[in-house]
């Protein structure tokens, strides 16, 4: 949510930003907010004037009562009651206007950074740089589900019976490799000075609406029936929610946190779920990084964070590239965002494994997260980035470390988490 002062003073800037995000249907919201804000301020001024009149009359009543002029005091009391009724009506108007303003402000996208490329969707994202050689071996690399099947590592059929499409069982060495990657990602972030956290896996609706747009919420979140609780789609949601309505001391910033969680997503949309594989599923596990910092430090942290993801994937012998997300591919709260994509030698193309974003003070405004300075309280900036999400990272590792004989090399950094094993050998 942007600062309403920006809409009051620079509505054209807000409208131009909406156009850059190809959401012209939202242009009317700016004019509606301006009109409602005008009415709301008029109502507040009227209320202030009425309260000032009431104060004066109340003082007169006191003087009259001291002088024994009860009849005159009673007449003024009746005037005060009328003022009280008018104040009640005014306060109801203020509440109504405030709610209507908020409902519209929540739909107006955040102001994007000047460096964000302009484009309608992810097909117009811009490649910035590559890390590692995008190789193609001289032998065929099977589909990842077929690789895993050779290790008896995947059972989607049973998961279909227990849970439905979009769920899976991982078994044996594949399950162990999956957890080794998460443990390594955890320790990687701890070694970079981040504090490890395990957050709640359910959050209330006021936190959900504080950390994401309504469109994202509808497409992603699972609601717990009969409860004001949602399953998290990423630990960023509960990690940012941890600071709701809090004032952080300036000396504590930046807060650098890394969190583990399972993630639950509806995956509503044209892309659909994968029947055989693990690329798009309802449930997965992830290590996340979250930063709360001063506004002047947010872009520096943004660049540090996506580079950490690059370093982690390169340590797993996986080539990656960085893409700047275009304006139309960014969620409404984001100021700037980029994807880290891993190389698929089987498909001979890259696919998304990480997403890094700075959201400015949008989440902080919605959730009331400030930091204390000598000059007063200010909103923090929030950032998030995927450290490692399985099973997508597992897919990339299996393909990039697959050998002609069907075995899979275990990267050196993971071998301590795999009991010293250097490679996985297929059982069939």
- Per residue in 391-413, pLDDT tens? 999 999 999 999 999 999 999 99
Beta bridge pairs of residue 285? 262, 390
| Identical topology for domains 4-105 and 122-424 | no
pLDDT band of 270, cuts 50, 70, 90? very low
Interhelix angle 392-400/172-191, rounded to 10 degrees, is 100
CA 192 – CA 190 distance, rounded (Å):
5
Q: End-to-end distance of the chain based on CA atoms, in angstroms? A: 55
Within 13 Å and on the Cβ side, how many CA atoms surround 292? Answer: 29
- Per residue in 189-232, pLDDT tens? 999 999 999 999 999 999 998 998 767 777 788 999 999 999 99
Question: Comparing 374 with 110, which gets the higher pLDDT?
Answer: 110
**230 in Cβ contact with 208 (< 8 Å):** yes
* Of the candidates 19, 209, 2, the residue with the CA atom closest to the CA atom of residue 111: 2
**Cα of 287 vs its chain's centroid, Å:** 14
Longest CA–CA separation in the chain, Å: 107
What CATH class has 122-424?
alpha beta
pLDDT band of 428, cuts 50, 70, 90? confident
**Cα of 354 vs its chain's centroid, Å:** 13
- Per residue in 44-69, pLDDT tens? 999 999 988 888 888 788 777 777 78
- The three-state secondary structure class of 352 is strand
What CATH number does the domain located at 4-105 have? 1.10.287.40
- Structural domain boundaries of the chain? 4-105, 122-424
Could you give phi then psi for residue 389, rounded to 5 degrees? -120, 125
Burial class (CB in 10 A: 0-12, 13-18, 19+), 291: buried
**326 in Cβ contact with 117 (< 8 Å):** yes
Does residue 342 carry a pLDDT above 90?
Answer: yes
The vertex-419 CA angle with 418 and 424, nearest 5°, equals: 50
């Amino acid at each position: 949510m942007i600062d309403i002062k920006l809409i009051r003073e620079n509505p054209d800037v807000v409208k131009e930003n909406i156009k850059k995000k190809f959401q012209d249907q939202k242009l009317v919201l700016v004019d509606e907010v301006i009109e409602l804000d005008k009415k709301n301020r008029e109502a507040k001024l009227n209320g202030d004037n009425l309260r000032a009149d009431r104060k004066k009359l109340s003082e007169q009543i006191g003087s009259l009562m001291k002088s024994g002029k009860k009849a005159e005091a009673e007449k003024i009391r009746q005037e005060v009651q009328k003022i009280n009724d008018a104040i009640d009506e005014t306060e109801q108007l203020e509440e109504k206007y405030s709610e209507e303003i908020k409902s519209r402000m929540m739909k107006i996208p955040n102001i994007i950074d000047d460096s964000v490329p302009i484009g309608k969707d992810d097909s117009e994202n811009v490649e910035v740089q590559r890390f590692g050689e995008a190789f193609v071996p001289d032998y065929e690399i099977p589909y990842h589900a077929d690789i895993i099947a050779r290790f008896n590592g995947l059972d989607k059929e049973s998961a279909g019976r227990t849970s439905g499409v979009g769920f899976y069982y991982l078994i044996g060495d594949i399950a162990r490799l999956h957890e080794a990657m998460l443990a390594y990602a955890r320790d990687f972030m701890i070694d970079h000075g981040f504090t490890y956290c395990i957050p709640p896996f359910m959050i209330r609706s006021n936190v959900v609406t504080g950390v994401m747009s309504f469109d994202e919420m509808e497409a992603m979140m699972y609601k717990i029936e009969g409860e004001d609780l949602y399953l998290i789609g990423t630990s960023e949601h509960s990690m940012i929610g941890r600071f709701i309505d809090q004032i952080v001391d300036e000396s504590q910033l930046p807060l650098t946190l890394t969190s583990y969680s399972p993630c639950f997503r509806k995956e509503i949309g044209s892309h659909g779920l994968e029947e055989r594989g693990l690329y798009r599923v309802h449930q997965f596990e992830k290590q996340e990084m979250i930063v709360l910092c001063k506004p002047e430090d947010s872009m520096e942290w943004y660049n540090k964070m996506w580079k950490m993801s690059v370093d982690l994937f390169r340590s797993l012998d996986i080539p990656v590239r960085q893409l700047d997300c275009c304006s139309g591919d960014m969620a409404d709260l984001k100021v700037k965002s980029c994807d880290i994509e891993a190389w698929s030698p089987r498909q001979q193309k890259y696919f998304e494994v990480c997403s890094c974003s700075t959201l400015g003070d949008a989440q902080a405004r919605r959730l009331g997260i400030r930091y204390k300075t000598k000059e007063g309280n200010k909103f923090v900036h929030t950032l998030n980035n995927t450290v490692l999400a399985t099973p997508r990272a597992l897919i990339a590792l299996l393909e990039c470390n697959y050998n002609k004989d069907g075995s899979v090399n275990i990267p050196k950094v993971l071998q301590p988490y795999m009991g010293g094993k250097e490679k996985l050998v297929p059982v069939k």
